[in-house]
Structures are given as C-alpha cells and as structure tokens.
C-alpha cells in the first residue's frame, strides 16, 4: 500500500530513524519541528512590544547608578515569539493530550472555567496592598475556600498562605514547633515513614528537627508497633501520608494519632493524596493536627510544567492559634477582614510569624473555589469514588502480568502500585516507562515509593474515561509482555518522541546551565561542543 | 457532572472486573465509624458553568481593579502592561497541563523554556547562573540566606532596613526556628539607603548582608561599596530585586559584586493577582552551584547526539537527598517562569531598557507633580519608578481617604512598618508605563483635597 515508505519509517524517528537514511534540508520532518533557542533566533535590538519614548532624560540623582549598555537579551517580534513558543509547546506531553498517570502527582483535567474565572479583572488585576475595602470580593474568595477546606476535612482552622505542598508541610511543622514552645517543651525528633515523599524528611530538617525513619510492614502500611516504640518525650510528632504512597489507606490512623497524642506529640498528615478520600472521610475525625492540601492536585489547579502550586494547611484546635499571618477571618459585622502584623494583636497574638510576602496563591484560590463550586459536595464525593474505581480497575486488569505487591488481599485507593519483579533478565521499570512514551502515554511515577523494588505507581484520576483506561491498560499489558519476553527494542525506547534517551550523566558532570554567546549569533562554543543544530 | 467521564454502566462493568459489589467495598480500609454515608450536609451540590460564573463574577465585581482607577501602588508587586500573546501562549495546554519535566524525551518544550529562562535571569541579574525558579521573592530571599550560611559556615545575616518588611518578616520567622542570628536595621525617613549602617554592621561572624535594590522606599543603595565591605569580612552580598524592570536602567547587581541575587519576577509577564502566584528568581556565582536550592535545567545530548535538556544536579534536591537536601522545595513556579520568559523575549534587551526609561519618566512626572501639593515633601535623592513622599499626617488614613475617592494612591509606610511610628507619614508611590498624565493629575488633585 505504502510504496513510498516501504520501510515503515516515520517522521518522528528523525534523521537517524531506523530503516531510513532520509534527511530533509530543514531538519524538520513534517509536523515534527525542531526549534532553536530564543537566544539563537533573536537579537537585542528586536522588540515585540511598541513602547512610548521617554520625554525626558534620567533624573540627575540616578546618573551614577545607570548601566552602561542594555542587557544582552534577545528580542523577537510578536509573530516570531508566538511561533517560537508554539513550536516548543509541541514537544511537551500534557494532560490535554492523553492520560498522565503519575502516581502521587494527580494529573487530572484542568477545567477551563477555572482559568476564565481567575482572569476576571476583579481577581487578576488587584494589588495585594490595596486598601481592604477595595478588595472585599478577593478576601471573600479566600474565606469561602477556607470554609470549604475546613468543612471537607473536619478541622478547626486553615492557614491559606503556603505556596505549595512542601511549603504547607513547613507551615504545619512550624505550627507544631510553636505549640511546643508555648508548652515550654523542647522536642526535636519527627518520625517519618520510609515510604514518605522526599519532601517530608527534607521539610522536617528544614524546620530544625531530627528525622527518624519508621519502617513499612510487608503489607505496605506504617509499622504501628515500630512507631509506638519510638514515641517519647523527645518526639514532636509524626508525618503520615494518608492515603499513603503505596496507594493504601492507613487503617490504624486513629490509633496512631491516639498514641502520638498520649505521648505528647502531634500528627502531621501529608495531604497529597486527599483526592482519594475527599467527601468520603474527614481527616479531622482521625486525629490529625495538621494537613496540607495541594490545590494543584485535589482541586485541579494546573501544574504548569512544575508549578505554581498552593498548599493551604488545615489545623486542629490545638494548632490553630499558631497559624501564620496573614489570614482572613469573618468579623462579627459579617465582613471578611485581613489579619496582618498591624492588627494581629487583637486575637491572634500567638501567630508563629509570616511565611510569604502578601497573602498566598490567590490565582490558585479562585481556580480551586471554582472547581469546588462546580463539583459541589456530591460531585467531590464522586471524584474520590471514581478516582479509586479507576485505580482498582487498572490494578485488577494488570496484576496477572505485573506483580502488585501490596494489593493481593484488598483494594487500593486512588493509585495502583506495581513492581518490576518477574521481567526478563536486564529489563526494568525504566524500559516499561520509556515504552509507554512510544505508545503515546506519559509514564507512571517510577522508582517511588522506595519500599518497592522497581516501583511503578499508576494514578489514573477520575477524569479518565473507561475507553481511555482500556487503551492504557492494553499498552501497559503489551509492554509487560514484551519485557517478560526480552524484547531488546525496549532498551532503546522511546523511538517516537522528540528526543531519544537523554544523557543525564553528561548533564550533571559538565553542567551547562545557561547559554553562552551573543544573541542572534548561532554556533557558539556551548552549542558546537554538543554537536547540536 | 461535566468533568466525570464514567457512565453508570461503565462503573457497573468496572466493579465487575474488580470483583467488588459496590464502590463502598473499595473503601473498606477506612474505619467504618469514620466513613461518611453521603455528601457532607450543609454544603451545596454541583453547579453549572453558568451558575458558578455568576457567583465568581459577583465576588470579582466587589473589588476595585487596578485598571479602573488611577493606580500608584508598588512595594514589591508592580502593574505593567502584559502583551496579549503572553497569556495566550501560557494557556496552550501543552504548557499549562504538563507536569514537572521528569520524562525529558516528552518535555523538551518545558525544559528548553527553563534553559532560556535561566539564561535570561542570569543575564538580567549579572550572575553566572540562575535556577528554574522559586515560589516568590520572599521565600527566595530566605533560601539565599540559608545558602550563604552553608557556603560561609557562619550564621549571622544582616538585613538592610530597605528590605521589604514582608521579606524581613519571613526571614525572621524562619530564623527563629533554625536559630540563625538575624540583625535587622531600623528604617528611617532619610533621602538615601542605609549603606553606611549596613557596612558598619558587618563583622567576622557575618555570613551575608541582604540589600534590596532599589530598596522598599525606592532609594538605590551603593551595592559595590557594600560588596567590598562584605567580602573584606568573608561575608556574601545578597541583592534582592523586587522590580526587575529597573535592571533595564540601573546596573545589574552581579556586575556590582553581589554573590547571590534573588528577586520577585512578577512584574514581567505575571500580573498582580492579589499577591500570587508570583515568581522567585535566583541567580548566583557558578562556584556555588552545588549549594543552590531548587530545580536546575541543563543542556545535554540524546542517544542520537541531538541537543536536549534535562533537570540536573538533582542530588541537591529533596526527592533524592531527603533530609540532607539543600531545600525542601519541590513544586516551583514554572508557569510564571514561562510568562516571564515570553514577556522578556518580546521585549528584548533594548526593549527592556526602553520600558525602564518610560517607567522612570512617568515616575519623574508623578514626583514633580506631587512635590507641588501643599504639605508634601519628596524624600528620595534617587529613585527608579517608585519613591517615598512625606505627608503632613499618617499616610494610612490618607490612602483610605484616597480610595474613597477611587484613587489607589500608593502604599503607606505605616502598613509596611506598623511598629515604627516615625515612618507613618511616609507614602510610597509608584508609576509604571500604565500610568497616564490624567491619572497623575487626578491623583495630585485628590491628594490636595484629602490634605486640605
């Protein structure tokens, strides 16, 4: 049928693609478009913005501070700029293109209404230091979202300002430090399960605590007896992820909380996986003292290629008095007020301080509130149920080919954990992951959690259809079979991506972190050294 | 529910495959007494796009947005015109809905943007290198102080009184827990930055001095002199830039001897957004790279020898090093970095210089006009696009009365420094390219009315 291309070569194979020596003059192949750096395309004189001319010279007082010449930054006109970034965008996989089943990361659909609402001038074009009476609507957004978060978690209060999940962890631990200080106690140890996200031990250290690790049981849960054995007068608290990073609910959460409280400590819950239980169970009923909520996970604010996030922290009665400034509260007059340093003395004198300039991730608050109002109490519950249903469907559809070490006897929550045990000699999780790229999917989270050999953590989320899941399952099963059969072509996957496997060792050994050269002049040392084009 | 693709038939079929009688069977690990039997009482049910839009629009309409009033507020967040193409491009799904680029073969778009962003920030700051962004300027500032402690093995930081009070408060809050020693200098209503006091506070125990440039009152410190004094005592100079547009006009901090330069990138491409999300910028000398916090993007090659980009030097980071990491930061501000990078690419070096000149021009027009208002004195010897004026009474009241007249007339120093009553007559006013001559005239006339 295809007489012109009998070899089966595809444009995405690039010039060194298998089965062909075909080379285009441009270096592009149909819709597979290479893109140079903006520094190679633009020049300092080019500009994509029409600017006024200043009507007077710089003030005399400024003369000694003036720079000698304009910064060496490339400019591009608008058409060139739009093309540069559009061409680059096409080298990205995204949730808008297909499933993005990164376990623990919760890549769900980002509703576009959220984007539209965040861009209303009344939210997008207001300054954080405007007089309060000119921003009452913005403060109400924060208060309404805070109210939802408190109700959904069954907690007493919420600190809204943390900028992301790890920042929220820090907020929670600093509340614990402040509460201990108020009790006049010096406790310097935080217990962290070995299955925890890396941010947990890093945050504990960042907050000035020593970290002690708690082992996991063979069933993938926190070893409660080992935890209890470590409790004592030097333990400030524990950090528990629930549902945990093995995709399992910690059924002993309440017992853990009771034991920690009895020993004088506090319970921090990593709420990264709250999306699995929202509307099904309230962490406040399980003895949690502090928990961050990643608005960019559970409440769908976009990940944007690595951020921004938002990490409000819900707090128990015991920790609420120590929440940092600023925060909003509804006064007796029914109006929402901003509590800052200036007025904290009247009722919030124990605040541990301030974590950020201004008031937190307002642009994420508007998106999250829009998402919450769209779903309502019933929809949010359905979100958790469908997320868990989808994960269990993947688990039971693949476990005959890929071992699921912790879900032999029972269901998982929102993510299915597999191991690479049983693949042919020399084959591992990495081969499956890179093979998924060729199949048109983003890989799952790999080699995490650390408690499973060759972990593959699949989180489909509730926004995948059954048909979409069936396609993904078909590909994952096919890859598992190929890896069991020892299909060598997997080792060189991906074959059909904008790049083949990248040399990460070279990048770390000889770091090239900025482009060296003069804008608009290609062929600089850094470039030729790498033989790129 | 418009966002949930599973049909009731799908759910039934999938439960069959799983071998569960109902979805509740999947939640058996949750203790029965804690399980909620239905939607939480008292909360509303799901709502249509139209209904949600109506609710949110009503809240938005309660705010006085900057574009609808003469607007002169800055103090760490600046209103600049953002070209339409910036917001269009950041909303491309391939950027908006991608994750952190941990699978580089299918994330070259994000990675190349980060490499370009790092280069832009380094060149703007005059530093050797820059990272792929932090949460915001204030958190980047604290991370810089921690980094200086790691490098110098000393833990006494001197904060200039011109450092934004929110930044200083973040630093003091964190230092309380890490037991770092923070020396905070007292702000004064004087025409020049507190260079002499900063230099006098440096001793052999000092790890770093933290100097905002231009400072929070719009004054411009002599970074070169401070750098020399710091280096003579084995301390580092951390320069903090809250208005990067200024660097189109005044010398880059790195060129003046700053060892670490951090800043708030919001003013280029990001927009006001009531305070967030913003964009932490972080640049430093190349020899400090392994002490840096945050993600770094580096150039490499793929298996076919083609240039490509990856996240690199991650042995500094929490997901590898856990409690021994340089920082606990994970999520950064990637999409804001993209907006910054696009806007700066549209401007180019000459464009940025011209934009800065226009800002300074508008600020001169504003200051000249306000100087004619009876009772108003201009504080600054030098300023870029914001300066402090001194009023005959507490500026907090004046700002509120101006807002009643629909003028957003700057930030009172009393709001920024509530503890320092001798600053309370100070008013920080800002003019960017978005300000018109009519805005300035309206502001001046209303200020005359308020002060009369």
Domains, chain A, with CATH or none: 115-369 (3.40.640.10), 379-492 (3.90.1150.10)
The answer to whether residue B87 scores a pLDDT higher than 90 is yes
B380 within domain boundaries? yes
B247 and B390 part of one domain? no
The answer to whether residue A500 scores a pLDDT higher than 90 is yes
- The pLDDT tens digits for A452-467 are 999 999 999 999 999 9
B134 phi-psi bin (left φ>0, alpha ψ -120 to 50, beta other): beta
d(CA A467, CA A457): 20
B441 and B360 part of one domain? yes
pLDDT band at A381 (very low <50, low <70, confident <90, very high): very high
pLDDT value of residue A13: 60
Which residues make beta-bridge pairs with B300? B308
d(CA A164, CA A293): 9
Q: For chain A, give the percent of residues with pLDDT over 90.
A: 84
B89 within domain boundaries? yes
Q: For chain B, give the percent of residues with pLDDT over 90.
A: 95
For A401, B65, B363, the CA distances from B79, given in Å and listed in that order, are: 56, 11, 13
Task: Please count the residue pairs, one from chain A and one from chain B, whose beta carbons lie less than 8 angstroms apart.
Answer: 737
Chain B window 409-438: which residues touch A at a Cβ cutoff of 8 Å? 411, 414-415, 418-419, 433
pLDDT band at A532 (very low <50, low <70, confident <90, very high): very low
Indicate the average pLDDT of chain A.
Answer: 92
B101 and B74 part of one domain? no
d(CA A161, CA B424): 27
User: What SS3 class is residue A316?
Assistant: coil
The answer to whether residue B324 scores a pLDDT higher than 90 is no
User: What SS3 class is residue A71?
Assistant: coil
pLDDT value of residue B199: 98
d(CA A2, CA A416): 41
Which runs of consecutive H residues, i.e. helices, occur in B62-216?
84-90, 93-96, 108-125, 137-152, 165-178, 195-201
User: What SS3 class is residue A486?
Assistant: coil
Report the residue from B99, B101, B118 with minimal CB separation from A105.
B99
ipTM of the prediction greater than 0.95, yes or no: yes
**Closest by CA position to A114, among listed B224, B273, B52:** B52
Show the domain range for B203. 84-343
- The pLDDT tens digits for B187-199 are 999 999 999 999 9
Q: How many domains does chain B have?
A: 2
d(CA B428, CA B395): 9
The answer to whether residue B144 scores a pLDDT higher than 70 is yes
Nearest CA in chain B to A178: B177
What sign does the CA torsion over B424, B243, B172, B174 have?
positive
pLDDT value of residue A533: 33
The CATH number of residue B239's host domain is 3.40.640.10
B21 within domain boundaries? no
CA distance A365 to chain B (A): 9
Q: Which two tokens stand for residue B49?
A: 């796009």
Please indicate whether residue A520 or residue B252 has the higher confidence score (pLDDT). Answer: B252
**Closest by CA position to B127, among listed B275, B265, B39, B255:** B255
Q: Give yes or no for a contact between B118 and B316, defined as CB atoms under 8 angstroms apart.
A: no
pLDDT band at B325 (very low <50, low <70, confident <90, very high): confident
pLDDT band at A3 (very low <50, low <70, confident <90, very high): low
pLDDT band at A8 (very low <50, low <70, confident <90, very high): low
pLDDT value of residue A347: 78
The answer to whether residue A520 scores a pLDDT higher than 80 is no
pLDDT band at A522 (very low <50, low <70, confident <90, very high): low
d(CA A328, CA A140): 8
Q: Which DSSP string corresponds to B244-273?
A: GGGGGTBPPGGGGT-SEEEEE-TTTTT--G
B271 and B412 part of one domain? no
**Closest by CA position to B64, among listed B405, B406, B438, B400:** B406
Lowest mean pLDDT, pick from A276-285, A327-336, B428-437 = A327-336
- Tokens 């210089």 belong to B353
Q: Which two tokens stand for residue B314?
A: 């991650």
pLDDT value of residue A455: 96
The answer to whether residue A293 scores a pLDDT higher than 90 is yes
Contact A164 B330 (CB under 8 A): yes
User: What SS3 class is residue B424?
Assistant: coil
B372 and B327 part of one domain? no
The CATH number of residue B444's host domain is 3.90.1150.10
B318 and B432 part of one domain? no
B214 and B254 part of one domain? yes
pLDDT band at A44 (very low <50, low <70, confident <90, very high): confident
Averaged pLDDT for residues B207-228: 98
B45 within domain boundaries? no
Nearest CA in chain B to A449: B319
Q: Give yes or no for a contact between B116 and A512, defined as CB atoms under 8 angstroms apart.
A: no
Q: Name residues whose C-beta falls within 8 Å of residue A413's C-beta, 6 or more positions apart in sequence.
A: A243, A247, A248, A249, A273, A276, A277, A388, A391, B26, B29
B220 and B275 part of one domain? yes
Contact A137 B62 (CB under 8 A): yes
pLDDT band at B213 (very low <50, low <70, confident <90, very high): very high
**Closest by CA position to B418, among listed B166, B137, B71:** B166
**Residue at a domain's end among B343, B360, B378:** B343
pLDDT band at A21 (very low <50, low <70, confident <90, very high): low
- The pLDDT tens digits for B326-360 are 888 898 999 999 999 999 999 999 999 999 999 99
B225 within domain boundaries? yes
Which helix (DSSP H) or strand (DSSP E) does residue A235 occupy? Answer: strand A235-241
**Closest by CA position to B206, among listed B230, B228, B224:** B230
**Residue at a domain's end among B316, B343, B370:** B343
Report how far apart the first and last C-alpha atoms of chain A are (Å, whole number): 35
pLDDT value of residue A346: 74
Averaged pLDDT for residues A110-117: 98
Nearest CA in chain B to A48: B346
- The pLDDT tens digits for A203-253 are 999 899 999 999 999 999 999 999 999 999 999 999 999 999 999 999 999
B246 and B358 part of one domain? no
The answer to whether residue A409 scores a pLDDT higher than 80 is no
B75 and B223 part of one domain? no
d(CA A423, CA A405): 15
User: Strand B181-184 relative to strand B156-159: parallel, antiparallel, unpaired?
Assistant: parallel
* Number of other CB atoms surrounding residue B15 within 10 Å: 18
B374 and B339 part of one domain? no
pLDDT value of residue B326: 87
Residues in chain B closer than 8 A to A49 (CB atoms): 81, 83, 346-347, 351, 355
**Residue at a domain's end among B343, B376, B408:** B343
B166 within domain boundaries? yes
B410 and B293 part of one domain? no
pLDDT value of residue A4: 56
Which residues make beta-bridge pairs with A206? none
């Amino acid at each position: 049928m295809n007489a012109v291309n009998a070899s089966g070569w595809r444009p995405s194979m690039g010039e060194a693609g298998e089965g062909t020596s075909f080379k285009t003059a441009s270096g592009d192949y149909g819709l597979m478009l290479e893109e140079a750096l903006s520094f190679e395309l633009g020049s300092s004189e080019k500009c994509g913005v029409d600017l006024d001319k200043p009507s007077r010279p710089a003030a005399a007082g400024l003369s000694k501070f003036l720079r000698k010449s304009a910064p060496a930054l490339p400019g591009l006109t608008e058409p060139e700029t739009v093309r540069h970034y559009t061409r680059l965008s096409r080298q990205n996989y995204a949730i808008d293109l297909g499933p993005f089943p990164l376990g623990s990361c919760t890549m769900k659909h980002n509703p576009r209404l959220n984007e539209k609402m965040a861009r209303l001038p009344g939210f997008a074009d207001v300054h954080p230091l405007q007089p309060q009476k000119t921003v009452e609507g913005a403060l109400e957004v924060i208060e309404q979202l805070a109210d939802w978060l408190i109700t959904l978690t069954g907690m007493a209060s919420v600190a809204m300002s943390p900028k992301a999940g790890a920042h929220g962890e820090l907020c929670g631990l600093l509340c614990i430090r402040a509460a201990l200080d108020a009790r006049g106690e010096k406790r310097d140890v935080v217990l962290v399960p070995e299955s925890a996200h890396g941010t947990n031990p890093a945050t504990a250290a960042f907050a000035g605590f020593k970290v002690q690790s708690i082992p996991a049981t063979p069933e993938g849960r926190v070893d409660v007896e080992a935890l209890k054995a470590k409790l004592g007068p030097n333990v400030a608290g524990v950090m528990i992820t629930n549902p945990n990073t093995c995709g399992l609910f910690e059924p002993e959460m309440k017992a853990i909380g009771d034991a920690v409280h009895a020993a004088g400590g506090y319970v921090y819950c990593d709420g990264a996986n709250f999306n699995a239980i929202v509307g099904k169970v309230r962490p406040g009923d399980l003895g949690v003292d502090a928990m961050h909520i990643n608005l960019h996970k559970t409440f769908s604010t976009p990940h944007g290629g690595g951020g921004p996030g938002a990490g409000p922290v819900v707090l128990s009665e015991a920790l609420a008095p120590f929440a940092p400034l600023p925060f909003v509260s509804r006064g007796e007059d029914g109006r929402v007020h901003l509590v800052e340093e200036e007025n904290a003395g009247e009722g919030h004198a124990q605040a541990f301080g301030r974590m950020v300039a201004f008031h937190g991730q307002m642009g994420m608050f508007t998106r999250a509130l829009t998402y919450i109002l769209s779903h309502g109490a019933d929809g949010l519950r359905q979100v958790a149920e469908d997320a868990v249903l989808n994960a269990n469907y993947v688990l039971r559809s693949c476990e005959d080919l890929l071992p699921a070490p912790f879900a032999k006897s029972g269901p998982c929550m929102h993510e299915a954990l597999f191991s690479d045990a049983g693949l042919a000699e020399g084959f591992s999780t990495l081969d499956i992951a890179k093979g998924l790229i060729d199949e048109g999917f983003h890989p799952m989270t790999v080699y995490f959690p650390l408690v499973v050999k060759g972990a593959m953590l699949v989180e489909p989320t509730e926004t995948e259809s059954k048909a979409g899941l069936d396609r993904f399952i078909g590909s994952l099963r096919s890859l598992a079979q190929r890896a069991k059969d020892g299909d060598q072509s997997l080792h060189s996957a991906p074959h059909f991506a904008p790049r083949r496997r990248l040399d990460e060792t070279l990048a770390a050994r000889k770091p090239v972190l900025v482009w060296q050269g003069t804008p608009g002049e290609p062929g600089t040392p850094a470039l030729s050294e790498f033989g790129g084009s | 529910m418009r966002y949930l693709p599973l049909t009731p038939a799908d759910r039934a079929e999938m439960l069959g495959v799983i071998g569960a009688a109902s979805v509740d069977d999947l939640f058996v690990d949750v203790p029965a007494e804690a399980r909620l039997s239905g939607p939480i009482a008292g909360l509303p049910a799901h709502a249509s796009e139209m209904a949600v839009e109506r609710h949110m629009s009503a809240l938005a309409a309660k705010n006085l947005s900057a574009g609808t009033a003469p607007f002169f507020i800055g103090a760490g967040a600046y209103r600049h015109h953002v070209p339409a193409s910036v917001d269009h491009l950041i909303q491309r799904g391939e950027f908006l809905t991608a994750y952190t680029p941990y699978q580089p073969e299918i994330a070259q778009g994000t990675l190349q943007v980060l490499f370009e962003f790092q280069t832009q920030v380094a060149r703007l700051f005059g530093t050797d290198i820059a990272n792929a962004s932090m949460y915001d300027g204030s958190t980047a500032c604290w991370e810089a102080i921690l980094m200086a402690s790691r490098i110098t093995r000393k833990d006494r930081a001197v904060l200039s009184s011109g450092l934004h009070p929110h930044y200083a408060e973040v630093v003091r809050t964190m230092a309380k827990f890490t037991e770092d020693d923070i020396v905070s200098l007292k702000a004064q209503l004087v025409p020049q930055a507190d260079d002499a006091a900063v230099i006098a506070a440096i001793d052999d125990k000092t790890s770093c001095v933290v100097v905002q440039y231009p400072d929070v009152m719009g004054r411009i410190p002599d970074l070169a002199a401070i750098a020399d004094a710091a280096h003579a005592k084995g301390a580092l100079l951390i320069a903090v830039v809250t208005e990067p547009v200024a660097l189109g006009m005044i010398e880059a901090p790195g060129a003046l001897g700053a060892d670490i330069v951090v800043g708030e990138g919001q003013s280029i491409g990001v927009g006001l957004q009531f305070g967030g999300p913003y964009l932490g910028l972080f640049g430093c000398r190349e020899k400090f790279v392994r002490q840096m916090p945050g993600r770094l993007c580096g150039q490499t090659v793929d298996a076919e020898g083609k240039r490509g980009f990856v996240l690199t030097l991650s042995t500094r980071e929490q997901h590898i090093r856990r409690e021994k990491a340089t920082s606990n930061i994970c999520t950064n501000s990637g999409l804001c970095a993209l907006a910054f990078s696009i806007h700066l690419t549209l401007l180019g070096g000459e464009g940025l210089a011209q934009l800065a000149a226009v800002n300074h021009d508008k600020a001169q027009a504003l200051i000249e006009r306000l100087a004619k208002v009876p009772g108003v004195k201009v504080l600054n010897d030098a300023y870029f696009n914001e300066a402090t004026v001194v009023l005959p009474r507490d500026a907090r009241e004046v700002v509120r009365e101006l807002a009643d007249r629909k003028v957003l007339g700057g930030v009172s120093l009393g709001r920024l420094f509530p503890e320092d009553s001798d600053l309370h007559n100070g008013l920080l006013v800002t003019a960017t390219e978005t300000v018109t001559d009519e805005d300035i005239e309206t502001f001046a006339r209303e200020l005359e009315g308020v002060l009369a």
